A and B are shown apart, each in its own frame.
Chain A
């Protein structure tokens, strides 16, 4: 890299991986973090300077769970638009789920996604399918996929229900130190359901998904992880019971981790209102009690990462009869602002915990070396944000190809100021 060194000057550095939370300047050189110094020690001569006064300077944010829709569904999103959206949200790395068309169950697709022609604006780590075609029958070639760049395996959206298959997936994952990510849903108990089971689903005349459809699978997976010594990662946790299962698993030394989406700690099933399909996702928005349990799990360390489950869908896939509408919302641009607004300003969680949940936490979950940290020598991925800046989200300006968000017109406190990937500024707000 022959790029000019970049000095991020005058900001407050929060780097949970090194225990730093104080005003410092950060020098980025040759795609790496060169040094951190007291403010003003490094002179700006010969360097580009990015002023960060009043801002938090954090390790680049990492999203463990996005759907970039390529190959095969580029009317919803492409790797280029999805990663541009990520950059605008302060994310410097995203992990792309394999439910593309065709399903990413091969070395070829895994490599294709990472090719320079995709024009990814931030780092992209594929998560490969855990079974061929995500059909839950035959394991994919984990070793080859891992070698091709896959950071985990998952049949996201088509959970592995068969005990024997899940056991085999975890056993192989354990041998390769490859996390197995499960979207925990007993789909036999959620057929025809389009939201959470409760008073709101009754009022709206919609079939509801019970909490147990999630938590029973989480309990089963945790038990299998204990047996196999594997790393089970629970995707988008949403229920009180599943949170408790992960909490107990961690206490007993099982390698279980969990991510949570901003919507599951912010919204509840009542937000569906009068059939707002922008509040239709899977897992569904749960009860207020579940939402409170999510906040408790974030506060007590049960949760390892905030992940968006960014799921773009076109207008004609969302603005249809509620029961026929696709599940999911876009989330890359709103995750950090929601985390700051809800977790920091409302629930009084310290900013370092939010930075941890979005950087060092997810880096640790998938073992992403040199990411999620500002330690000298680490990749020069940095996110700069103003935790006090108030702004209003306008979905019509989203960098995503899709507009399916419940947060259009929401006011947030906390805004991304700049996103830096490998020492290069890829977004300025």
Chain B
């Protein structure tokens, strides 16, 4: 029952040197001229929740390395017939999966599976909890521009409470000594959010948070999640939209990031989303390289 596989479950379980190793490998990855590191390996994409970018990114990454991929979604499988997660995991294992890339709406689902299944598991997002491959590709994007993470001021603005991206990033950046500022209305940035890692603070004033920022990471706002909150949509836009005016408070060479999908006109002004400081497209491209590196390192030495 003991986990014997090298899984990637969350950024909290990674050491600084493990993260640096993945980033180093990712920089060397070229999806156009890929090394056939995973020839003959079977990558199962087990997706209990809809995803376009993450799924495609992992699929490209696996195929670029020579692996075959199989997509299993909740709607098209025995999951819908009520099969338990552990049973599904064993089925996929018995079919010969070398790695399971998993997206699940419940926080902790990949942790449960990793306790029972001998195959390595890559967490492609679990509930509100973790999205480690996103945090790694974000770290790659940041270091491409800033050469370092230590001492950077990173503002993560938006719906932090519902964001696995925010959690994974804050924990990773904190390990490198970056200063992380969670920013948003109190309903979406609760006081407890600042306890997630050393050097993280919670702030409800975007103008103050952006001062001297090196990185501005905007998160998606889902309109339905503002329902019943103290803040309305218009007030949110007025107080927390990242606009060109507000960006003047950040450092002149600050970069703007967003994990996607962007809700146009809500969390990011178009001038910022499409502006010179925006790294949004670069993030997507880095996603494939990073996931190539993740799959290669998880499968290194496996069976």
Contact = CB atoms under 8 A, between A and B. Distances in A.
Interface stretch (B122-130, B214-222, B253-261): B122-130
A319 interface: yes
Contact of B107 (A199, A316, A319, A322): A322
B208 interface: no
A321 B112 contact: yes
Nearest to A203: B196
Most B Cβ at <10 Å: residue of A204, A205, A274, A316: A205
B128 A206 contact: yes
Contacts of A199: 192, 195-196
Contacts of B107: 204-206, 275, 322-323
Contact of B106 (A197, A202, A321): A321
Given A199-B195, A202-B196, A320 B127 contact: no
Given A205-B126, A205-B164, A322 B106 contact: yes
Contacts of A323: 106-108, 127
A320 B108 contact: no
Nearest to A316: B84
Interface in A309-346: 316, 319-324
Interface in A281-313: none
B259 to A, nearest CB: 15
A66 to B, nearest CB: 27
Interface residues of A, number: 18
Most A Cβ at <10 Å: residue of B86, B127, B130: B127
Nearest to A325: B112
A39 interface: no
Interface residues of B, number: 24
Contacts of A157: none
A203 B106 contact: no
A319 B167 contact: no
A267 B116 CA distance: 25
B109 interface: yes
A198 B195 CA distance: 9
Interface string B57-97: 00000000000000000000000000011100000000000
Nearest to B196: A203
Nearest to A277: B112
A322 to B, nearest CB: 5
Given A319-B86, A323-B106, A205 B129 contact: yes
Contact of A202 (B109, B116, B130, B193): B193
B190 interface: yes
B127 A205 contact: yes
Interface in A354-378: none
Contacts of B86: 319-320
Interface in B254-277: none
A204 B167 CA distance: 9
Contacts of A202: 161, 190, 192-193, 195-196
A203 B85 contact: no
A423 to B, nearest CB: 44
Contacts of A198: 192
B112 A319 contact: yes
Given A199-B192, A203-B196, A206-B128, 17 more contacts: A199-B195, A202-B192, A202-B193, A204-B129, A205-B108, A205-B130, A205-B164, A205-B167, A206-B107, A206-B127, A275-B111, A319-B86, A320-B84, A320-B85, A321-B109, A321-B112, A323-B108
16 contacts: A199-B192, A203-B196, A204-B129, A205-B107, A205-B130, A205-B167, A206-B108, A274-B108, A275-B108, A275-B111, A275-B112, A316-B84, A319-B116, A321-B104, A321-B106, A322-B107
**Which 9 residue pairs spanning A and B have beta carbons closest together?**
A205-B128, A275-B108, A205-B129, A321-B106, A199-B195, A205-B107, A202-B192, A322-B108, A199-B192
